[in-house]
């Protein structure tokens, strides 16, 4: 069910974390359990962050060349927003934490985490439905009570299943959950762009999120959800810093 994939042959000077990650992408296998927080995880996470920067630089250079060639790219939502401190905190910290819970919290395959995600999704859908009748007497109560109920159900699910291993069927088909989470993560970021654009161009624009989704998924199952959150926060922080520098 678990174990790390066999490393492919890479140049000896390539950082070990890069070699392990690329081998994992080629043949994703769910480890028995993430190693959890610790100093030993910081060095490989730093190496993965370096790989993230290199890949993002290459993709941004490609987009720059396309712009120079006359291709009109759709505007990003951030271009129309004033980056106030509250919004910055949401983008750099809040969004990564929420997105890691939603898109990669379940990748452990453990019953508690799967149940927690199901509870949160159900609460989100129920809250949206309740929002359609927000003017009713129960509307405000439901808009507050349903999310709290969802959080309570998610916490209970994690507590009850905290010592149980990954489900067998999930581990057997982990490859598709891993790839699927990266695709879903990229697709969700299509909403970041405004204006009409060909579907092929929009798909190209979210390639960075697709690539980062692979990195974050690997970090999540190797060291734990805290690791993917930390890597995601560092990723967002850098690009916000670039946006502010170019403003």
Per-residue pLDDT 10s for the chain (247 aa) are 445 544 445 566 788 999 999 999 999 999 998 998 888 899 999 999 999 999 989 988 888 888 888 777 777 777 677 778 888 888 899 999 989 988 999 999 998 888 888 888 887 777 777 666 655 555 566 666 666 777 787 777 777 666 788 999 999 999 999 999 999 999 998 887 776 666 666 777 788 899 999 999 999 999 999 999 999 999 999 888 877 776 5
Domain-embedded: residue 35: no
In this structure, the answer to whether residues 74 and 133 fall within a common structural domain is no
In this structure, the answer to whether residues 142 and 175 fall within a common structural domain is no
pLDDT number for residue 247: 55
In this structure, the answer to whether residues 85 and 148 fall within a common structural domain is no
Q: How far apart are CA 191 and CA 106, in angstroms?
A: 23
pLDDT number for residue 12: 63
Q: What is the dihedral of CA 127, 128, 133, 138, to 10 degrees?
A: 0
pLDDT number for residue 6: 47
In this structure, the answer to whether residues 52 and 94 fall within a common structural domain is yes
Domain-embedded: residue 49: yes
Q: What are phi and psi of 171, to 5 degrees?
A: -60, -40
Domain-embedded: residue 60: yes
In this structure, the answer to whether residues 119 and 172 fall within a common structural domain is no
Q: Is 246 exposed, middle or buried (0-12, 13-18, 19+ CB in 10 A)?
A: exposed
Domain-embedded: residue 20: no
Domain end, chosen from 165, 193, 209, is at 165
In this structure, the answer to whether residues 96 and 171 fall within a common structural domain is yes
CB of 100 closer than 8 Å to CB of 232: yes
Q: What are phi and psi of 194, to 5 degrees?
A: -115, 150
pLDDT number for residue 229: 94
**Angle in degrees, CA 202, 22, 33, rounded to 5:** 105
Three-state SS sequence of 31-74? CCCCCCCCHHHHHHHHHHHHHHHHHHHHHHHHHHHHHHCCCCCC
Domain end, chosen from 98, 132, 165, is at 165
Task: Count structural domains, the chain.
Answer: 2
Domain-embedded: residue 25: no
> How many residues make up the chain in this entry?
247
In this structure, the answer to whether residues 128 and 247 fall within a common structural domain is no
The pTM (predicted TM-score) of the whole model is: 0.85
In this structure, the answer to whether residues 100 and 215 fall within a common structural domain is yes
The residue among 89, 56, 37 whose CA lies nearest residue 239 is 56
In this structure, the answer to whether residues 118 and 238 fall within a common structural domain is no
pLDDT number for residue 113: 87
CB atoms within 10 A of CB 143: 15
In this structure, the answer to whether residues 160 and 84 fall within a common structural domain is no
Domain-embedded: residue 6: no
Domain end, chosen from 165, 182, 206, is at 165
139 is in which domain, residue-wise? Answer: 110-165
In this structure, the answer to whether residues 131 and 226 fall within a common structural domain is no
pLDDT number for residue 138: 58
Domain-embedded: residue 21: no
Say whether 145 sits in a helix, a strand or coil: helix
Domain-embedded: residue 30: no
In this structure, the answer to whether residues 77 and 125 fall within a common structural domain is no
């Amino acid at each position: 069910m678990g174990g790390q994939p066999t490393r492919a042959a890479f140049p000896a000077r390539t950082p070990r974390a890069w070699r392990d990650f690329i081998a994992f992408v080629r043949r994703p296998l769910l480890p028995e359990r993430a190693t959890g927080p610790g100093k030993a995880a910081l060095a490989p996470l730093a190496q993965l962050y370096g790989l993230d920067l290199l890949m993002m630089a290459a993709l941004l250079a490609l987009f720059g060349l396309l712009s120079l060639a006359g291709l009109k790219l759709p505007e990003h939502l951030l271009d129309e927003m004033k980056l106030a401190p509250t919004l910055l905190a949401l983008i750099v910290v809040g969004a990564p934490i929420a997105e890691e819970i939603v898109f990669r919290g379940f990748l452990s395959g453990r019953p508690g985490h799967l149940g927690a995600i199901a509870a949160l999704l159900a609460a989100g859908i129920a809250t949206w439905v309740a929002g359609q009748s927000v003017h009713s007497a129960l509307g405000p109560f439901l808009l507050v009570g349903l999310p709290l109920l969802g959080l309570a159900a998610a916490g209970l699910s994690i507590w009850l299943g905290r010592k149980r291993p990954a489900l067998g069927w999930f581990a057997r088909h982990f490859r598709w959950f891993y790839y699927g989470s990266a695709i879903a993560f990229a697709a969700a970021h299509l909403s970041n762009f405004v204006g009409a654009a060909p579907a092929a161009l929009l798909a190209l624009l979210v390639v960075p999120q697709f690539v980062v989704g692979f990195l974050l998924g690997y970090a999540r199952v190797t060291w734990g959800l805290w690791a993917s959150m930390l890597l995601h926060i560092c990723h967002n922080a850098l690009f916000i810093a670039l946006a502010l520098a170019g403003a």
